[in-house]
Structure 1
Amino acid sequence: MNTTTDHAALSDADKKAQFNFNKLTKWLRHAVGDAINDFNMIEPGDRVMVCLSGGKDSYTMLDILLGLQRSAPIDFSIVAVNLDQKQPGFPGHVLPEYLASLGVEYRIVEEDTYSIVKRVVPDGKTTCGLCSRLRRGILYRVADELGATKIALGHHREDILETLFLNMFHGGKLKAMPPKLVSDDGRHVVIRPLAYCREKDIVRYAEARQFPIIPCNLCGSQPNLQRQVIGDMIADWDKRFPGRVENMFRALQNVVPTHLADTSLYDFAGARADGVAREDGDKAFDSETFSEPNRINILANRPDDVAGCGAD
């Protein structure tokens, strides 16, 4: 979408599309800004390494961060990094040309992880685990070389919830994908600025901005991945029960350790009746009151026209 077109020359349909795009842009910037503020993702003087895969999520993340960089009250720098994994047919010219057109600092890292994954992982098995570990090690190294203080990844709200359910269903853990975390080697801070963003809003934004999307022919082309199964489940809930996905994400921010069963988080063995009233005490004999999902005002702070812009 050409956002610089003279408004007077637009048709009514074009004006409406422009209006909706502007509202969508404002919403995404607001969501990213809230995530950055809530988790203190970016601080004055930070050098943020934006990991760019060529997919809709990372393009959107870079675009929104560049916009915030121009308007934010703090000073931080951005360097975009793409890992060229040498997948057959990968259009190596697309990202350098795109990034050069933006005038943003960037680094293209060429590492043949594709051959390693194809050699090590048997046909029909999921390649995501090994591919992810290889990418992570390379990106940590590059972050050191570039002097990056933060590593930004393009995971959005649905990615976080998918990880929660994958860990519950297949790993036996109540664990999601945090918006901010210190890396496993203890030397880097990983941030996810799109943590509050809905995937369907990102889809529409990417389409309107006409990003030169590069499909992944390694993990993204594997059928019946467990993550895809979970993703389809969440998408179905989102359509049939408006507000459910928002409530699930909100639950990640409202954890009550006394009402779970992890003895490392709460001293169940030492719990004694002491006559002192407590807000987190057991209410097993009280009736719980829940709102019906389809009656929840899912995003009270979002204007109706923005919500409509992102609706199916």
Structure 2
Amino acid sequence: MNDIADSTDMDVPALLRNAPSSVEFKKLRKRLLRQAREAIGDFGMLPADASQDNKPKWLVCLSGGKDSYTLLAVLIELKWRGLLPVDLVACNLDQAQPGFPAHILPQFFEENGIEHIIVREDTYSIVTDKIPAHRTYCSLCSRLRRGILYRVAREQGCEAIVLGHHRDDILETFFMNLFHGGRLASMPPKLINNEGDLLVLRPLAYAAESDIEKFSNGMRFPIIPCNLCGSQDGLQREEVKRMLQGWEKANPGRLGVMARALGHTRPSHLLDRSLYDFVNLRPAEGSSAGASGDAEEPCGASLAMTAKLFAAE
């Protein structure tokens, strides 16, 4: 990838002209661009025939939080560099929350010359009417929001809605499902909606939340806090987030290892009979003891412990 352009270069998109010029920030910016490119490529987010003459259209969803601002900035830079042949339309859904600063995002889009659409739908009243005050609003709020965004994407002729979920969100969802849902599942970087006519993409799937926060702070994005869901205490997701952050603090790099594990599953070493035919698994007649096969591997924890013991000697 070419070196990060100087902020004085007038060819740079307006959103990026005030980006910090420090070496550290340039490295961070490159890392986010590289990770987004990898996710887009690894999961085939672009159609095979996408080109500057044949560009799909993406609806980039902005909430006003650090993640969605960073997503938009990364996609705009990739497009500017000729690495993302896509037409981008930024979209904010104003959910009519009391005190929501409705002027911030339209002003941000206008100042930076970003094609956008603002949609106002009073989902706040629906959520607060249907859900008791002591219960979390997230599930219903998310379903309502997603349905509206699907409708807007169709109206705008988009083939995908693009969300700012990152690596840590994906890990949190995995542990939420593990602890509370009794299943191994998370947020895929790419999926298709139930109707089968729209993609849902997460290009920041490889990006760490800590990097996104540093990037957002450096860019001085006008953050809009969530006063509906985020203000509720005792959310199970927040408990999982604290747990994961504690693991990362005690063992730096732990979240990266766990994220890689989500891409390296072995159905034969789990318990899901729909993914692996355990019933008909039998030793082959005449096979030797040393023949290769899907043999049981040593536990990763025991391997790590053994390596640590030998390193100490």
Does the alignment reach a TM-score above 0.5? yes
Equivalences for residues 1-40 of structure 1 within 5 A: 4=7, 18-40=22-44
Letter in 1 for 2:23: F
Task: Give the whole-Å Cα distance in 2 for the aligned partners of 1:32 and 1:192.
Answer: 9
Residues 19-64 of structure 1: CA distance to partner in whole angstroms, max 9, x if unpaired?
A: 1111110111111111111111123111011000000000000000
Letter in 2 for 1:41: M
Instruction: Determine which of 186, 208, 233 is the counterpart of 1:176.
Output: 186
Equivalences for residues 16-95 of structure 1 within 5 A: 18-43=22-47, 44=50, 45-95=55-105
Secondary structure of the corresponding residue to residue 109 of structure 1: strand
1:185 deviates by 2.3
- Structure 1 residues without counterparts, runs of 5 or longer: 7-15, 295-312
Instruction: Determine which of 156, 159, 163 is the counterpart of 1:149.
Output: 159
Task: Sort the Cα spacing of 1:236 and 1:265 in 2 relative to 1 into closer, same or farther, 3 A.
Answer: same
Give the total of aligned pairs: 284
Contact 1:28 1:197 (8 Å CA) reproduced: yes
Equivalence for 2:134 = 124
Residues 264-292 of structure 1: CA distance to partner in whole angstroms, max 9, x if unpaired?
A: 00000010111274442234799952379
Task: Sort the Cα spacing of 1:269 and 1:110 in 2 relative to 1 into closer, same or farther, 3 A.
Answer: same
Task: Give the whole-Å Cα distance in 2 for the aligned partners of 1:175 and 1:74.
Answer: 29
Residues 198-223 of structure 1: CA distance to partner in whole angstroms, max 9, x if unpaired?
A: 00000010000000000111111111
Task: Give the whole-Å Cα distance in 1 for the aligned partners of 2:205 and 2:21.
Answer: 26
Task: Give the whole-Å Cα distance in 2 for the aligned partners of 1:111 and 1:80.
Answer: 17
Task: Give the whole-Å Cα distance in 1 for the aligned partners of 2:99 and 2:300.
Answer: 61
**Range 108-117 or range 279-288, more displaced:** 279-288
Residues 178-197 of structure 1: CA distance to partner in whole angstroms, max 9, x if unpaired?
A: 11111122221100010000
Task: Sort the Cα spacing of 1:86 and 1:239 in 2 relative to 1 into closer, same or farther, 3 A.
Answer: same
Contact 2:7 2:21 (8 Å CA) reproduced: no
Instruction: Determine which of 117, 124, 143 is the counterpart of 1:107.
Output: 117
Structure 1's consecutive aligned runs of 4 or more residues displaced over 4 angstroms after TM superposition are 283-288, 291-294
Letter in 2 for 1:282: E
Equivalence for 1:298 = none
Equivalence for 1:229 = 239
Identity over aligned pairs, percent: 49
Structure 1 residue 282 corresponds to structure 2 residue 296: yes
Contact 1:243 1:293 (8 Å CA) reproduced: no
Letter in 1 for 2:304: F
Of structures 1 and 2, the one with the larger relative CO (CA 8 A, separation 6+) is 1
Letter in 1 for 2:44: N
Task: Give the whole-Å Cα distance in 2 for the aligned partners of 1:291 and 1:70.
Answer: 47
1:4 deviates by 2.9
Equivalence for 1:268 = 278
Task: Give the whole-Å Cα distance in 2 for the aligned partners of 1:172 and 1:87.
Answer: 34
Task: Sort the Cα spacing of 1:156 and 1:74 in 2 relative to 1 into closer, same or farther, 3 A.
Answer: closer
Contact 2:75 2:84 (8 Å CA) reproduced: no
Contact 2:172 2:240 (8 Å CA) reproduced: yes
Equivalence for 1:136 = 146
- Structure 2 residues without counterparts, runs of 5 or longer: 1-5, 10-19, 309-313
Task: Give the whole-Å Cα distance in 2 for the aligned partners of 1:213 and 1:186.
Answer: 33
Task: Sort the Cα spacing of 1:35 and 1:286 in 2 relative to 1 into closer, same or farther, 3 A.
Answer: closer
Letter in 1 for 2:97: Q
Task: Sort the Cα spacing of 1:266 and 1:119 in 2 relative to 1 into closer, same or farther, 3 A.
Answer: same
TM-score, length of structure 2 as denominator length: 0.86
Task: Sort the Cα spacing of 1:284 and 1:92 in 2 relative to 1 into closer, same or farther, 3 A.
Answer: closer
Task: Give the whole-Å Cα distance in 1 for the aligned partners of 2:131 and 2:117.
Answer: 28
Contact 2:57 2:86 (8 Å CA) reproduced: yes
Instruction: Determine which of 208, 212, 229 is the counterpart of 2:222.
Output: 212
Letter in 2 for 1:173: R
Task: Give the whole-Å Cα distance in 1 for the aligned partners of 2:279 and 2:84.
Answer: 47
Contact 1:126 1:225 (8 Å CA) reproduced: yes
